[in-house]
Structure 1
Amino acid sequence: MTDEAPFFPDPERQKARDDLLAYAFRALAGRALTEAELRTRLARRTDDPTLAAEVLARVQELGYQNDAGVARAEGSRRGVGGFRVRQTLRRRGVPEELIENTLAARDPQQEAQEARELLRRRWPALARKRDPRASAYAFLARRGFGGAAIWDAIREVEQQQPPEDDPDG
């Protein structure tokens, strides 16, 4: 006979694990979270880092948390450019390699088209500003579009819009 006691799970630890797992599912039900975001939330709920890691691994094993899915969803968002996608994914703790893969999967023609569509919708308001081109550039830059796409969109939208009466002339 050995001196080791038979394995019986600690009921308190099992309850803490179940509670933390339920919390993880509630958190993921509200919004898709990255691994880093969920790890941070779990760490705030328990003092046991191994328990948090265990719960995170279980949630990932069940397919409820997946950084690739979060990156894919962010990468396919309409109305935002690649710079905004990169910034958002970095802020959310997605690995750099996955960010690069997500950006590589984006279609530059589609991104340029989205910039033009956004600018067409906003142009009437922007055209009334003191410097419409600067306002348009700033608007699209805040949305994360690159300079080439922005200038192409500005040129195209300006050509399509009827000329406004020049208040200075």
Structure 2
Amino acid sequence: MRRSRVDVPAEKPRRTPQEERDDLLAYAFRALGGRALTESELRGKLEKRSDDPDLVQTVLTRVQELGYQDDAHVARAEGSRTSVGRHRVRQTLKRRGVPEPLIQETVAARDPDQEAESARTLLERRWPALARKRDPRASAYAFLARRGFGGDAIWAAIREVSAAAGAEVGAPEDDADE
């Protein structure tokens, strides 16, 4: 029986700073190729790949200079989504690390009439299933609230869609307050 010699792993050759920068830059481009990332998200990914904060900042700056990463672009894309309300847009941008002034600008740019129309359109698609529930109004409200729509847009959508469907559903009874 022959015994094989156990190979001792050879030491990895030291990479030059330029090679490390090029590798990290290539990784950044691959990451951004999958989806638009915020500065915070990209920084987190780069920091997992490199222990050198200066190198991470250099790569991040270069990617931004070339126009491949821009928080404003990410915020505009999120703000233009029609299937979610302004509360969801705010929450998503905050979670993704977008600066607060840019979040406020994005949310303020959303048209309330367009948002109400989006809520109505979304509810029209789901109304047949929601109408079979025990309390369709509560189910519809919960559905649209999870999507980030505000109460005014939700109740307007519920009134319109339910009236079109033949059911008389109104806003919650606040007669006790009046």
**Could you say whether these structures have the same fold, taking a TM-score greater than 0.5 normalized by the shorter chain as the test?**
yes
Residue 133 of structure 2, aligned match among 89, 114, 129:
129
Give 5+ residue unaligned stretches, structure 1: 1-9, 165-169
Aligned-residue offset at 1:11: 6.5
SS at match of 2:148: coil
Give the ranges of 4+ consecutive aligned residues of structure 1 lying more than 3 Å apart after TM superposition.
Answer: none
Aligned partner of 1:90: which letter?
K
Q: Which residue of 2 aligns with 1:34?
A: 38
1:142-161 alignment to 2 at 5 Å?
142-161=146-165
Question: Gapped runs of 5+ residues in structure 2?
Answer: 1-13, 169-178
Query: How far apart are residue 67 of structure 1 and its match?
Result: 0.1
- Residue 54 (str. 1) matches residue 40 (str. 2): no
Q: Share of identical aligned residues, percent? A: 73
**Structural mapping, 1:80-99, within 5 Å:** 80-99=84-103
Matched residue, 1:3: none
Letter in 2 for 1:123: W
Aligned length: 155
User: What is the distance in 2 between the residues matched to 1:20 and 1:81?
Assistant: 36
Q: Give the superposed CA RMSD.
A: 1.3
* Alignment counterpart, residue 69 of structure 1, candidates 59, 65, 73: 73
Cα deviation for residue 163 of structure 1 reads: 4.0
Using structure 2 for the length normalisation, give the TM-score.
Answer: 0.85
